[in-house]
Structure 1
Amino acid sequence: MLRLTPVVKNLLIINVVFFLLQQFFTSIHFTEMVSLWKFGSVNFAPYQFLTYMFAHGGFGHILFNMLGLVFLGPLLEQFWGPKRFLIFYLVTGIGAGLLYNGIEYFQVSNVESAVNLYIANPDPEAFNRLVVENIESANPAIYDFIDAYAKNPDNERLEEQSIVYAKQLYNETFNFGSMLGASGAIYGILMAFGLLFPNTELMLLFPPIPIKAKYLVLILGAIALYSGLNRAGGDNTAHFAHLGGMVFAFIMIQIWKNDRNKFY
């Protein structure tokens, strides 16, 4: 029978409470307040590095994250003790948010540079390139505008409108989209389990086959890296947050191995 340890139990309760608050307090935009927004966004607040990991995007999202927590978390809490496990969970979750937001900020900065470059030298070909390279799923109307602009490259009104569109692209990229969920911390738990108990067999849900922890960690890490670097249009998964949780987990475990008696 599954036995919940104190910290895992409390984390489970907090996640469920947050999820319920998300359902009942939509009018005050609770989810938007606790999600993690990009650095510099009008919606960003430092506390979100903590709160985002307790909010979720739907029942399936929280279900699978909590399954990972309750199946693997107790083993690590018993191995490390409650205090160290809680520190590990929070640091990997916050670290996942930091890595994800850092990469997002870098990507937004690239968009800003592209927009500024276009504004300095606007023309139909450059505008088409700006849209194709920086918008994953644009409104079809923008392509009608591109066609009209290409047919009338010397039209000042169309040129001015293209600059307006370019500025809107930057503003939407900068202020649109947030991250939420415990996945970063859960991937950190998976990494820790794979490092500490590499030959322990875990049973996958889909497909229901056993796999050693070390191989599961390698596969999930490779998927997170590949998916983050080759993100498909419409993919809303924060792959670099998953990778960030694993990276911070690896770093923490190495520190603890080398400095066991001085960590606290």
Structure 2
Amino acid sequence: MYNDSFGNSLKRGYLGLPVAIRTIITINVVVFLLQILGANDLFISTMAFNPDLPTAVIQPWRLVTYMFLHAGGFHLIFNMLWLWWMGRSVEQTLGPRTFCVIYFGSGIGGALLDIAFAQFVGINLVIGASGAVFGVMVAFAMLFPRMPIMLFLLPPIEARYVVAGLIALDLLFLGSSDNTARIVHLGGAGIGYLLMRYQQQGIDLSALVRPIENFWYNLRGAYKKKKSTRKSSNLRSVSDVEIVEESDQSELDEILEKISKKGYDGLTKEEKRKLFELSKKN
């Protein structure tokens, strides 16, 4: 173990990340590499968020795609470090579906708030994951308010004060000419707070993701069945088994997410029985 190569250690650390954070970081890094390899102008013109109201209505995909673009290496690194640092505990506590609702909901909410303010302060293209990351940081501070955070050259500071301080800095420099989308940061933080409040009140945020997830599974299942018609009957039975296994995994994920929120005693008798059966299969 001690003689393991740096590459293997890096690979293990990457694969050990929660699935949603690992996917988001991977997409951000890949898109940034494409930006520096020559696609930056194309990406900015088609994927950056434009707070001009008609453009936002006609090109709604920009509400999401702008989160995967960054203005430079430090912009990317700091966003991904904060996401990795605080987001892991949030995803592990709430589950990947709820985490995605908070992350993308905060990013979209920050962009929508920017539309309202841009009509008065001017139209500027927005890129970066900061709004979404601010929402995740607020969620972390609400889940672990007294968690000590180590910042450079500073003593340990509780998470609630660190996050509140970052929000206060954005408020303090609101309107400055440093090309930082502070309205998006504040909007993301506000939406992150509201979504966490809903979650703490018992509203299942993950329910917003399930229709998309089911559509994806149905799409994959239809594709597998279409491919299986070109194979022998024996191979077709293997494809059917794969679909059943995916369904079992989805059901297992739902039960585990419920345990993370309500504990094992929060499961129904049927869910406990299903968990026991699925654990034997795995």
Q: TM-score, normalised by structure 1?
A: 0.67
Residue type matched to 1:84 in 2? T
Alpha carbons 1:184, 1:244 under 8 Å: kept:
yes
Deviation at 1:262, TM superposition (A): 7.7
Structure 1 residue 258 and structure 2 residue 204: aligned?
A: no
Query: Residue 126 of structure 2: which of 158, 171, 179 is its match?
Result: 179
Q: 2:235: which partner in 1?
A: none
SS state at 2:104 partner: helix
Match for residue 90 of structure 2 among 76, 81, 84? 76
Mapping of residues 1-264 of structure 1, within 5 Å: 3-26=16-39, 29-40=42-53, 45-105=59-119, 107=120, 173-174=122-123, 177-205=124-152, 207-228=153-174, 231-232=175-176, 234-260=177-203, 264=207
Q: CA deviation at 1:190?
A: 1.0
Q: Which amino acid aligns with 2:158?
A: K
* Greater relative contact order, per chain length (Cα 8 Å cut-off, separation 6+): 1
Q: Is the 8 A contact 1:22 1:31 kept in 2?
A: no
Alpha-carbon spacing, 1:24–1:212, altered in 2? closer, same or farther (3 Å): same
Note the C-alpha offset of 1:42.
6.1
RMSD: 2.2
Q: Which runs of 5+ in 2 are unaligned?
A: 1-8, 208-282
Structure 1 residues 27, 257: CA separation in 2 closer, same or farther (over 3 Å shift)?
Answer: closer
Letter in 2 for 1:227: F
* CA 1:17–1:201: 2 relative to 1, 3 Å: same
3-state secondary structure, aligned to 2:149: strand
Compute the displacement of 1:28 (Å): 5.6
For the structure 1 residues 235 and 15, does the alpha-carbon distance in structure 2 shift closer, same or farther, using more than 3 Å as the test?
Answer: same
CA distances 1:39-96 after superposition (whole Å, capped 9, x unpaired): 2476972110000011000000000000011111111111001111111111011111
Q: Equivalent residue of 1:29, what SS?
A: helix
- For 1:158-178, what per-residue CA distance to the aligned partner results, in whole angstroms no more than 9, with x for missing partners? xxxxxxxxxxxxxxx55xx21
Q: Which runs of 5+ in 1 are unaligned?
A: 109-172
Q: Which amino acid aligns with 1:180?
A: I
Q: Does the residue aligned with 2:114 lie in a helix, a strand or coil?
A: helix
Question: How many angstroms apart in 2 are the aligned matches of 1:254 and 1:220?
Answer: 20
Question: Percent of counterpart pairs with the same letter?
Answer: 34
User: Measured at CA, do residues 47 and 215 of structure 1 come closer, stay the same or move farther in structure 2, by a change above 3 Å?
Assistant: same
